[in-house]
Structure formats: structure tokens, C-alpha cells
């Protein structure tokens, strides 16, 4: 079902027929009586850091997916489940290069959504235009995913200003051995070969009820479907992703547990996923140095001049101790998250922009390491008063290097980068420009929340977080345009130091076990930083920028009906965003500054219904209204945002529908059919519609379908992703530095998955 101006009635009829087939197998399905087997299983979350609770009992807007729901969706990566969360959107430039957006709080300068893998902070850091935004770990053997919507500044701190995403892996079973192996073969329309995925798990109780080890591994080979007509190569965007995880759990005493974790993932992309769409002519030049012909784009056509590989290594090393006391629990966790990216993009358009019509590449190398230690105490007192309190220390180090060199007609670099003047491209060499940048950030925080039960139905929570943040940046040119010409290397040092306090107030009214109402006022923040001030040309940029912050006012309800066969959640909110960190552009060079204020208002609805033991239905949506409260200053560029403009890449409406049907095919054989639909409304890529790079993104919808059969230890799943092969643009990239390029939905993929579990 594709609900925009291209709607095809045949698709609507086909979907109706599919649903009708399954409906006819159970004619009384919608009149079923409430039985225990019909209820929707609760998903237990740990979002409040005060122990476990049902997601329906937590008085904040939270969406949670357990392993069963992820399996129904066939989801092994972020974009395969995100569309089923009201208020969650994302910008996607390929594996490992995504920007998560919750409730419309979108900014290209840094993450507004905090991301955690268990206790490890893995939030992306948007440095320059090197990509490498949010890491995209494959989701194999995952216990649950939690999406906390609205500011989470008190418990989760920096960058959780719009919300927090938590990925919780399955833990070792200390009693029973377990294992599975799963393989998937599929074919994408227009691809050169089959896609292949293999993943598996082994759980080993090393010492019963004392120690256990859980090992998980995965490998994904996704075939490319984009053809480059510049250097005449087909299926250029192959992807090879492999990784693994080991978790060791030690029950040192009845009340003391130690958990160690190592996770790795390597991503290798032959080229990026950008295409030059039909009707768009690529950037070119007719001399005087070289003839760089303009080429017409087309379906799944790339016209980039160079090859754009991406090589990424991500690692998590974690250690956690949990000590249960008579009146509470102490949790201490220390984690190291490292991510190294070696990335190439086409710099020919910007060279043409500066009057140098030469084929060139920009190689960007980024090495990042985040060390985080948190210690907290969650009380478990018998009275009306309980609390959680903790301290955090985090150190974030990034080494970043840019190398701009010439490339040949086949898109490959000519030679290697050089710091020597004799190798300068204007002197017959191959090097245009080089720069290094090192950033070290340190933050310390003290946080806590106090909960008080006023009566059997009424309770309140007050939270506060104080943080101190400092960052230092050292940068230098390693090869200026034209060479050093006898001048020494110029190192520049910039620093930012600030502190801030954020607050939260929550009141909850729960008249019975099936109904909850809450009012939540919360603040979130994002630390400030410095701009790269050493550039290849004489351009003055601000040295740094301050933190921005927002305050959200929210009312919500969580209701269960018909003996927990119906779950309904709703949230209405208004958010004030101040000192917005905005990405700006001068002479084709980007920088960050604090600009103005904005307001975001929204409504989220989420309904899940299980009429009987066969059917499970989910439907939901999000309405968002974003608005700049004042004009951006002219310093941001020729076309600054105007008062009343909507945020870029934030659709006014998104929605989803999913239904799953289970039945007994024959004795011992269970069948399951799952159909899901996601819809994203229209949006634009920039504030000001008068700008030359303001592009409209049409609304689109996508349908997925899977059919599974399980018998004994075996299961087989036939699946269709992007059932109707929609090819809509999910993002458009265009500015002074690059020609117009589109990111489109991956074409229809048909496949078969086989799984064996002990």
C-alpha cells in the first residue's frame, strides 16, 4: 500500500486479498473471548535504572521490542524496526552512517539521541563530514530494544536531549546449554548476486548456577544494485559486515554478579549508496585543464568520479558488577567503545567549485575511543520513598585526518598523500590538501532521581543532573593548498569548558493496574565544542559553540483493556529548544554555531490488540509540528532559515501497521504470517525554500511480508522486503561540495531463512 500521489489501486487490492486469506481461516476471530493465552506478554524494561518494570508501568513514553517482536518483523538492523516506533525517524546514508531523530529534534551537527548497548555509551559523534554517525550493530541474539522518547538528561546525560535508544543483548543462561544456527539467502532486484547472511549462538553453562558463557557471531554479504556509468562498473555498492559477541557471567555470590562483554563488528563497503536520479545532470567541466563530462542520471545510476569505499571497525569492551543489598542495589559499569573509520568521498565537485577541474578524492580517517565509568545505587526501601543516585566519568578521544589527492579515470587514487611541497598537485604532484585534528573531551556528572508515593494512586519523581564538560581541539595543516612554501606547520589549539544542571519533574496517577496517566517536564542538553579553524583558504569561522538545551512538557496515558489483550499508549508534548547548534556553510566550508530558538509540538499514538491466540495487530502514528521562532542570521549562508520554517528531514506525519497470524498447520507444525507497513510523510532537506539546495522529499510507504513454518527444532521463513519495490528517495544530498545525490529505498528483496535450534 503506497499512500502518496502514486497510489496504485492494484496494491491496495493485493494487500486486502492477503489479509482476507488469513481472516477466512478463523471466521470468529474478532469475537473471541478473553482467555489467558490471548494476553499480550509484558515487556520488562530497565529504563529507570531502579530495577525492572513492565513498559506499561513506566511513566514515560517508551516503545519496547522483545526478541519475539523483532523476529516477527524479521529485524536484524535498525531500519527494519524503527518505522514501528511512533516519533522515531532517521536519516540514512548507508551502513554505519545514520542519524537518529526522535520527536523532530534534528540537527546535522551532533547526535540528539543517546545510544547505549547495554551499559556502553555508543552515541555517534558527527565530526566534519566524515560520516560515521550512529554505529549500526547487527541485532542478533538481542533480548530487547528500548526507545525512551523525550529528554533523558537526568539519567542518561549528554546527547539524550530528544531521547535514548537502549539495546540489551541476551545474557548467559547459567543452567542450560543452548545453541542455534541461522542462514539466510535472498535476492535484491537489480543486484549482481545473492545476499547471504549467517549467524549463530552457543550458550555454555561453564559451572551450573555459577558461571556461563554466551557466544554470538554473524556475517552479512549484501550484493550491490547500483551501477556507475562514469567508470563503467556494475553493482558497485556491495557490503560485507561481520561481527561477534562474547558475554561471560559469574555469580560470585548469591547477591553479587560480574558480567564481562566483548563485541566487535567490521563493515566493508565497496562504494556508498548514492545515486544520480533520473532527470538530474551531474557536475562537470569542459576545461581548460581537463574535460570532465556531464552525465545524465537514471534508475540506480551513480555518476561519481571516484570509488568511495568505507572500512569500519567497531569494538565494545565492558565490565559490570551488580551487588544486591538489603535495601537496594549497587551497579558499577566501565566500558570502552572504539570505532575506526577509513572513508573516501568524491571531492571532484568541490575542486570544480574552486576552479580546479581535476578528478580528486578526499580520504577521511577517524579513530575514536569512548571510556565511560558509571557507579549508581538504586534503593529498594519498604516505604513511600525510593531513589537512584550515581556518578559518571567519560572521556572521548578522536583523531581525525583529511587527505585530498588526485584520482585517475577509473576512480582510483593516484599515488599516496604527501606532506612535501614537491608533491603538491599544482607542482605536478598528486596532493592538494591535508589536515589533522585531535579532539579530547572529558565530562563528569552527578545525577539522581527521587520517587515518592503520596497515595495508592498518586506518585511523583524529581530528578537532577549536574555535569562539567571540557573539550580541547588541536589542529594543523599537513599540506596547505600550494604547499608550505617555506612556512612551518601551524598548530592551533582551541578549548571549551562549561557546566550545566538539568532537571526533571514527573507526576503519575494510576487509579488501577490497567490505567496510568502522567505529566512529565524534563530537560535535555548537548555539549558545546570547537570548530576547525585551519582551512585551505582564508575563511574566518567561529572558534567554538556552546551547548544547546531543550525543555519538554508532556502528558501521557497508558491503558490496558480486555484482560491485557489491548494496550493503548498516547503522549502529547511541546518542546522548547534554545541556542540550537546549527550546521552552517561559508565558502563551501562547514562550521557549527548557536542560532536562535524553536518549538516542537507533537502527538503519539500506539495501539496493540490481540483478539485471540492467532492474531496480533499493532497500529500507531506520530504527528509533529516544528517551527523556527526567529530568523537565522545571514552569517549562516545566503539562504538562512526564516521564522516559521519547519525543520529539515522531519515529516509531519509517520505511521505504521503490523499484523501477525499464527496457526497450527498440522500436528507439530506451526505457521506464522506477518505483514507490516510503514509510512513516512513528506519533508524538505533545508529550512529556506528559496535556497538552491532546498529539495522536497515525497511521502512514501513500504510493505514487508514474511511467512514462517516451525517444526521441532527447525524453522523456515520466506520473506519479501519492500514488497512493491518502491524506489522513493529517503534523503537528498546537495550543496557546494557535492553534486545532487539521492539515497533510495533498497529494492525488493526476496529470500528464505532457515534456522535450527537445539
pLDDT value of residue 392: 97
C-alpha cell at 466: 549536574
pLDDT value of residue 725: 96
Give the mean pLDDT of 721-748.
90
Task: Specify the range with the lowest mean pLDDT, choosing from 173-177, 414-418, 483-487, 676-680.
Answer: 483-487
pLDDT value of residue 530: 78
pLDDT value of residue 545: 82
In DSSP notation, 349-417 reads: HHHHHTT----EEEEEEEEEEEEEEEEEEEE--SSSEEEEEEEEEEEEEEEEEEEEEEB-TTS-B-S--
Burial (Cβ within 10 Å: 0-12, 13-18, ≥19) of residue 625:
middle
Cα–Cα distance between 370 and 338 in angstroms, integer? 6
Cα–Cα distance between 122 and 167 in angstroms, integer? 10
Containing 548, the helix (H) or strand (E) segment is strand 548-561
pLDDT value of residue 5: 40
Helices (H), 93-181: 153-156
Give the mean pLDDT of 121-133.
71
pLDDT value of residue 706: 96
Residue 248 burial (CB count, 10 A): 18
Is the separation of the CB atoms in 620 and 654 below 8 Å?
no
Give the mean pLDDT of 680-692.
90
Comparing 110 with 444, the larger pLDDT belongs to 444
> From the centroid of its chain, how far is CA 185?
25
Cα–Cα distance between 170 and 143 in angstroms, integer? 5
Going by pLDDT thresholds of 50, 70 and 90, the confidence category of residue 586 is low
Comparing 527 with 588, the larger pLDDT belongs to 527
Going by pLDDT thresholds of 50, 70 and 90, the confidence category of residue 669 is very high
Angle at 245 between CA 243 and CA 247, to 5 degrees: 175
Residue 317's beta-bridge partner residues? 262, 336
Give the pLDDT confidence of 697-711 residue by residue, as tens digits. 999 999 999 999 999
pLDDT value of residue 19: 42
Q: Is the dihedral of CA 190, 230, 94, 105 positive or negative?
A: negative
Cα–Cα distance between 469 and 444 in angstroms, integer? 7
Going by pLDDT thresholds of 50, 70 and 90, the confidence category of residue 585 is low
Comparing 314 with 737, the larger pLDDT belongs to 314
pLDDT value of residue 236: 96
Task: Specify the range with the lowest mean pLDDT, choosing from 7-21, 108-122, 251-265.
Answer: 7-21
Is the separation of the CB atoms in 675 and 615 below 8 Å?
no
Q: Report the mean per-residue pLDDT for the chain.
A: 89
Going by pLDDT thresholds of 50, 70 and 90, the confidence category of residue 532 is low
In DSSP notation, 443-494 reads: EEEEEEEEEEE-SSSEEEEEEEEEEEEEEEEEEEEEE-TT--TTPPP-EEEE
pLDDT value of residue 132: 55
The pLDDT of residue 203 is above 90:
yes
Comparing 489 with 729, the larger pLDDT belongs to 729
C-alpha cell at 726: 518502491
Return the percentage of the chain with pLDDT > 90, whole number. Answer: 73
Measured in degrees and rounded to the nearest 5, phi and psi for residue 476 equal: -160, 145
pLDDT value of residue 18: 44
pLDDT value of residue 289: 62
Give the mean pLDDT of 443-471.
96
Comparing 299 with 633, the larger pLDDT belongs to 299
Comparing 26 with 111, the larger pLDDT belongs to 111
The pLDDT of residue 206 is above 50:
yes
The pLDDT of residue 682 is above 60:
yes
The pLDDT of residue 288 is above 80:
no
pLDDT value of residue 543: 74
pLDDT value of residue 222: 96
Residue 275 burial (CB count, 10 A): 26
Q: Is the dihedral of CA 640, 645, 649, 650 positive or negative?
A: positive
Residue 755 burial (CB count, 10 A): 19
Give the pLDDT confidence of 153-163 residue by residue, as tens digits. 999 988 899 99
Going by pLDDT thresholds of 50, 70 and 90, the confidence category of residue 126 is low
Give the pLDDT confidence of 27-84 residue by residue, as tens digits. 343 334 445 557 888 899 999 999 899 999 999 999 999 999 999 999 999 999 999 9
Give the pLDDT confidence of 410-456 residue by residue, as tens digits. 999 998 999 999 999 988 899 999 999 899 999 999 999 999 999 99
Give the pLDDT confidence of 619-659 residue by residue, as tens digits. 999 999 999 998 877 766 678 888 999 999 999 999 999 99
Going by pLDDT thresholds of 50, 70 and 90, the confidence category of residue 486 is confident
Return the percentage of the chain with pLDDT > 70, whole number. Answer: 91
Give the pLDDT confidence of 218-240 residue by residue, as tens digits. 999 999 999 999 999 999 999 99
Going by pLDDT thresholds of 50, 70 and 90, the confidence category of residue 310 is very high
pLDDT value of residue 618: 96
Give the mean pLDDT of 585-599.
75
Cα–Cα distance between 758 and 752 in angstroms, integer? 20
Amino acid at each position: 500500500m503506497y499512500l502518496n500521489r502514486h497510489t496504485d489501486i492494484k496494491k491496495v487490492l493485493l494487500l486486502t486479498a492477503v489479509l482476507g486469506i488469513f481472516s477466512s481461516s478463523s471466521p470468529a476471530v474478532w469475537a473471541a473471548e478473553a482467555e489467558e493465552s490471548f494476553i499480550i506478554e509484558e515487556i520488562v524494561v530497565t529504563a529507570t535504572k531502579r530495577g525492572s518494570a513492565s513498559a506499561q508501568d513506566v511513566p514515560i513514553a517508551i516503545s519496547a521490542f522483545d526478541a519475539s517482536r523483532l523476529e516477527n518483523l524479521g529485524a536484524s538492523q535498525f531500519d527494519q524496526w524503527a518505522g514501528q516506533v511512533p516519533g522515531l525517524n532517521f536519516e540514512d546514508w548507508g551502513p554505519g552512517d545514520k542519524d537518529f531523530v526522535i520527536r523532530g529534534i534534528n540537527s546535522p551537527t551532533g547526535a540528539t539521541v543517546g545510544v547505549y548497548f547495554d551499559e556502553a555509551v555508543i552515541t555517534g559523534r558527527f565530526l566534519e563530514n566524515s560520516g560515521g554517525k550512529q554505529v549500526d550493530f547487527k541485532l542478533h541474539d538481542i533480548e530487547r530494544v528500548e526507545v525512551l522518547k523525550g529528554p533523558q538528561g537526568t539519567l542518561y546525560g549528554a546527547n539524550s536531549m530528544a531521547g535514548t535508544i537502549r539495546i540489551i543483548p541476551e545474557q548467559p543462561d547459567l543452567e542450560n546449554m543452548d545453541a542455534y544456527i541461522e542462514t539466510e539467502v535472498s535476492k535484491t532486484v537489480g543486484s549482481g548476486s545473492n545476499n547471504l547472511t549467517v549467524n549463530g549462538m552457543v550458550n555454555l553453562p561453564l559451572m551450573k548456577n555459577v558461571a556461563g558463557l554466551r557466544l554470538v557471531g554473524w556475517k552479512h554479504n549484501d550484493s550491490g544494485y547500483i551501477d556507475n556509468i562514469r567508470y563503467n562498473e556494475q553493482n558497485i555498492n556491495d557490503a560485507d559486515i561481520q561481527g561477534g559477541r562474547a558475554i561471560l557471567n559469574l555469580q560470585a555470590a548469591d547477591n553479587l554478579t560480574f558480567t564481562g562483554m566483548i563485541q566487535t563488528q567490521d563493515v566493508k563497503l565497496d562504494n556508498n549508496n548514492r545515486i544520480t536520479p533520473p532527470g538530474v545532470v551531474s557536475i562537470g567541466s569542459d576545461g581548460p585543464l581537463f574535460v570532465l563530462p556531464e552525465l545524465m542520471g537514471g534508475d540506480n545510476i551513480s555518476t561519481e568520479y571516484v570509488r568511495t569505499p568505507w572500512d569500519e571497525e567497531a569494538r565494545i569492551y565492558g565490565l559490570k558488577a551488580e551487588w544486591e543489598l538489603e535495601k537496594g542495589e549497587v551497579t558499577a559499569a566501565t566500558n570502552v567503545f572504539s570505532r575506526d573509520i577509513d572513508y573516501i568521498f568524491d571531492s571532484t565537485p568541490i575542486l570544480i567549485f574552486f576552479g580546479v577541474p581535476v578528478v580528486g578524492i578526499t580520504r577521511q580517517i577517524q579513530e575514536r575511543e569512548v571510556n565511560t565509568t558509571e557507579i549508581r545505587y538504586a534503593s529498594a526501601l519498604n516505604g513511600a520513598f525510593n531513589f537512584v543516585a550515581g556518578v559518571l566519568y567519560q572521556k572521548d578521544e578522536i583523531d581525525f585526518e583529511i587527505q585530498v589527492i588526485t584520482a585517475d579515470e577509473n576512480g582510483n587514487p593516484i599515488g599516496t598523500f604527501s606532506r612535501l611541497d614537491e608533491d603538491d598537485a599544482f607542482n605536478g604532484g598528486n596532493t592538494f590538501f591535508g589536515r589533522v585534528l585531535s579532539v579530547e573531551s572529558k565530562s563528569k556528572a552527578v545525577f539522581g532521581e527521587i520517587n515518592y508515593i503520596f497515595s495508592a494512586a498518586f506518585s511523583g519523581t524529581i530528578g537532577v543532573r549536574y555535569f562539567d564538560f571540557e573539550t580541547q581541539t588541536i589542529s594543523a595543516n599537513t599540506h596547505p593548498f600550494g604547499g608550505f612554501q617555506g612556512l612551518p606547520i601551524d598548530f592551533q589549539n582551541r578549548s571549551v569548558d562549561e557546566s550545566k544542571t538539568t532537571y526533571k519533574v514527573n507526576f503519575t496517577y494510576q487509579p488501577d493496574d490497567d490505567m496510568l496517566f502522567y505529566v512529565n517536564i524534563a530537560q535535555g542538553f548537548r555539549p558545546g565544542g570547537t570548530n576547525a579553524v585551519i582551512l585551505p583558504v582564508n575563511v574566518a569561522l567561529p572558534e567554538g559553540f556552546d551547548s544547546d538545551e531543550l525543555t519538554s512538557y508532556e502528558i501521557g496515558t497508558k491503558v490496558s483493556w480486555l484482560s491485557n489483550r489491548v494496550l493503548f499508549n498516547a503522549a502529547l508534548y511541546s518542546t522548547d529548544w534554545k541556542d540550537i547548534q546549527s550546521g552552517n556553510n561559508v565558502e563551501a566550508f562547514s562550521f557549527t554555531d548557536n542560532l536562535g530558538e524553536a518549538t516542537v509540538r507533537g502527538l503519539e499514538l500506539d495501539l496493540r490488540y490481540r483478539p485471540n491466540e492467532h492474531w496480533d495487530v499493532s497500529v500507531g502514528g506520530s504527528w509533529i509540528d516544528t517551527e523556527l521562532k526567529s530568523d537565522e542570521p545571514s552569517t549562516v549562508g545566503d539562504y538562512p532559515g526564516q521564522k516559521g520554517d519547519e525543520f529539515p528531514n522531519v515529516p509531519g506525519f509517520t505511521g505504521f501497521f503490523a499484523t501477525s497470524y499464527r496457526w497450527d498447520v498440522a500436528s507439530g507444525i506451526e505457521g506464522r504470517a506477518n505483514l507490516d507497513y510503514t509510512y513516512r510523510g513528506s519533508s524538505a532537506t533545508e529550512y529556506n525554500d528559496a535556497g538552491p539546495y532546498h529539495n522536497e522529499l515525497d511521502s512514501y510507504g513500504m510493505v514487508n511480508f514474511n511467512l514462517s513454518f516451525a517444526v521441532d527444532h527447525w524453522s523456515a521463513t520466506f520473506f519479501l522486503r519492500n514488497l512493491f519495490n518502491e524506489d522513493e528517495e529517503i534523503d537528498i544530498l546537495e550543496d557546494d561540495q557535492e553534486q545532487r545525490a539521492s539515497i533510495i529505498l533498497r529494492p525488493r528483496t526476496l529470500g528464505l531463512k532457515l534456522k535450527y535450534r537445539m
